[in-house]
Amino acid sequence: MSGLSALTLAEARDGLKTGDFTSVELTQAHLKAVEAARPLNAYSCETPEKALEMAAESDTRIAAGKAGAMEGLPVAIKDLFCTQGVLSTAGSHILDGFRPHYESTVTRNLWDAGAVMLGKANMDEFAMGSSNMTSHYGAVENPWKRKDDRKAKLVPGGSSGGSATAVAARAALAATGTDTGGSIRQPASFTGIVGMKPTYGRCSRWGIIAFASSLDQAGPMTRSVRDAAIMLGAMAGFDPRDSTSVDAPVPDYEAVIGGSVKGLKVGIPKEYRMEGAPPEIDALWQQGADWLRDAGAEIVEVSLPHTEHALAVYYIVAPAEASSNLARYDGVRYGLRIPGSSLQEMYENTRAAGFGQEVKRRVLIGTYVLSAGYYDAYYLKAQKVRSRIAGDFRDAWDKVDVLLAPTAPNAAFGQGEKMDDPIAMYLNDVFTVPASLAGLPAISVPAGLSAEGLPLGLQVIGRPFDEETVLRAAHVLEGAAGFDAMPDFIAGG
């Protein structure tokens, strides 16, 4: 059945419910799309047999009237999630052949809700990157093209670039992503889809390969805000196995879709007006504020004075945590081992061959900022500035309900660009990192096209655990923007 892969998650769910098609049919259509999308390299591992098996079981449950919230809906799983018996590599050579004997809590929640796994989505190695150029499994290509340059291959952003591409190219109804400094939101913006990072502690980190523990958070990547609400509801929940998981009830997120923003106070953080940012980014941001005002929201300028330092804080804290989190990849218990004449040589050879350039760079930076004599100057200082950044947001919540900002300072760029200047690459996350540092929920909604014809997202940031207001505002933005542009490459045909 053609056309099935073009549906939104909500449409597909409703179609399954009314019996218009079965999950097996829906899944078969998607498996074809996954195959067709291979040139984009969105998947690092396809699991068609598993998908069909899960779909058949879903059809049985649907027939028995026991459908879960994601029943029968085929999705892609970022390869940072450990999936039982299925290759889980974090896009790294060092996890060669690793098949966990356990299932991450978030994917377990999805399967319990009836979702169907199409495969593992390619990603920047260990989620370190904003271009999806650092994967051991090769770069992912953005299905979008510049309107005047159909040849140039563009990046989908990162690190959840495979997830973003799969969803944008209609090679999955939705996908899981993880966001450490913008890894859901920035690729969502680059590929014209919706990406949401919930509050830190909302989704369990158990079974998600750690990059930076105090920042990592899983979230949905979908083609509509409603879909994000549906999928987040299935992913989220308290997990006693994650000490940072918050024991709070998960609201019915979909119920807020369609709610009004009348009287909602929307903050415009003035420090997000970056010097040298393309004027079209500012213009779209202004447009977004106007849309919300027209819908009855009150626009308030607010100040987040320490924003300009967020990126520097992030590039100390995240590498520091990563340097420690990645110490376990030592060639002893799983993954790659490169022999050496001694244990130390085996360690050094394994880690030299197993980690890519960007991962090594960050592990070394992280090692340095934690090392004797530098801890106070770098790591401790960064954590203090981080407190200030979180404090800025707390002050803002006295005045406003949500914040509106651009998601990224630019549209998708060409593969290979910015590769020789790490800092230029890091600047991609300048608008997403502050909310990550403070652990706040934030969503990127496709809101317009750049002059080159590439999607641009707007970001809504909310109070801790107030995903509902974020979704409500995002849905209003989505409606006002009426974003219906299609990428160059559509896998479903």
Partner 1 sequence: MTMLEGRTGPWEVVIGLEIHAQVISNAKLFSGASTEFGAAPNSQVSFVDSAMPGMLPVLNERCVAQAVRTGLAIGAKINLHSVFARKNYFYPDLPQGYQISQYEEPIVGEGEVVIDLDGGASKTVGIERLHLEQDAGKSLHDQSPNQSFIDLNRSGVALMEIVSKPDMRSADEASAYVTKMRSILRYIGSCDGNMQEGSLRCDANVSVRKPGGELGTRCEIKNVNSLRFLRQAIEYEAMRQIEIIEDGGTIDQQTLLFDPGKGETRSMRSKEEAHDYRYFPDPDLLPLELTPDFIEAQRETLPELPDEKKARFMADYRLSPYDAAVLVAERETADFFEDVARGRDAKLAANWVISELFGRLNKAGKDVTDSPVSADSLGGLIDLVADSTISGSIAKKVFDDMFETGREAAAIVEEQGLKQVTDTGEIEGIIDKVLADNPDKVAEYRGGKDKLFGFFVGQTMRASHGKANPQMVNELLRRKLDG
Partner 2 sequence: MSLDKETVAKIAHLARIHVPQQDLEPLAGELSKILDWVEQLNRVDTEGVAPMTSVVAMPARWRADAVTDGGYPDDVLANAPEAEHGFYTVPKVME
Q: Does 424 sit near partner 2 (CB under 8 A)? A: no
Name residues whose C-beta falls within 8 Å of residue 428's C-beta, 6 or more positions apart in sequence.
130, 131, 157, 182, 186, 408, 409, 410, 418
Binds partner 1 (CB under 8 A): choice among 210, 284, 456, 461: 210
Q: In whole angstroms, what is the distance from residue 134 CA to residue 128 CA?
A: 8
Q: In whole angstroms, what is the distance from residue 203 CA to residue 105 CA?
A: 8
Q: Does 384 sit near partner 1 (CB under 8 A)? A: no
Q: How far is the CB of 380 from partner 2 (least distance, A)?
A: 6
Q: Does 265 sit near partner 2 (CB under 8 A)? A: no
Binds partner 2 (CB under 8 A): choice among 153, 250, 388, 414: 388
Q: Does 385 sit near partner 2 (CB under 8 A)? A: yes
Site string (463-482) toward partner 2, x via CB under 8 A? -x------------------
Report the partner that residue 390 touches, choosing among partner 2, partner 1, none (CB closer than 5 to 8 A by kind): partner 2
Q: How far is the CB of 76 from partner 2 (least distance, A)?
A: 23
Name residues whose C-beta falls within 8 Å of residue 43's C-beta, 6 or more positions apart in sequence.
34, 37, 76, 118, 119, 120, 121, 122, 162, 166, 171
Footprint (CB under 8 A) of partner 2, residues 365-384: 365, 367-368, 371, 378, 380-384
The upper half-sphere exposure of residue 63, i.e. CA atoms within 13 Å in the direction of its Cβ, equals 10
Site string (229-248) toward partner 2, x via CB under 8 A? -----------x--xx-xx-
Q: How far is the CB of 262 from partner 2 (least distance, A)?
A: 31
Footprint (CB under 8 A) of partner 1, residues 240-259: 240-244
Choose, from 58, 130, 163, 183, the residue flagged as catalytic.
183
Nearer to partner 1 by Cβ, of 359 and 411: the residue is 359
Report the partner that residue 316 touches, choosing among partner 2, partner 1, none (CB closer than 5 to 8 A by kind): partner 2
Q: Does residue 404 contact residue 302 with C-beta atoms inside 8 Å?
A: no
Q: Does 200 sit near partner 1 (CB under 8 A)? A: no
Instruction: Give the interface size with partner 1 as a residue count (CB under 8 A).
Output: 43
Q: How far is the CB of 242 from partner 1 (least distance, A)?
A: 5
Nearer to partner 1 by Cβ, of 205 and 418: the residue is 205
Q: Does 200 sit near partner 2 (CB under 8 A)? A: yes
Q: Does residue 172 contact residue 491 with C-beta atoms inside 8 Å?
A: no
The reply to whether 159 belongs to the active site is: yes
- Segment near partner 1 (CB under 8 A); pick from 167-175, 189-197, 286-294, 325-333: 325-333
Phi, psi of 193 (to 5 degrees): -125, 180
Residues marked as catalytic: 78, 159, 183
The residues of the shown chain that bind partner 1, judged by CB under 8 A, are 81-82, 88, 90, 95, 98, 100-102, 104, 205-210, 212-214, 240-244, 320-321, 323-324, 326-328, 330, 332-334, 343, 347, 367, 370-372, 375, 379
In the complex, which residues of this chain contact partner 2 (CB under 8 A)?
97-101, 200-201, 214-215, 240, 243-244, 246-247, 306, 309, 312-313, 315-316, 323, 327, 330-337, 339-349, 351-352, 355, 360-361, 363-365, 367-368, 371, 378, 380-388, 390, 422-423, 437-439, 464
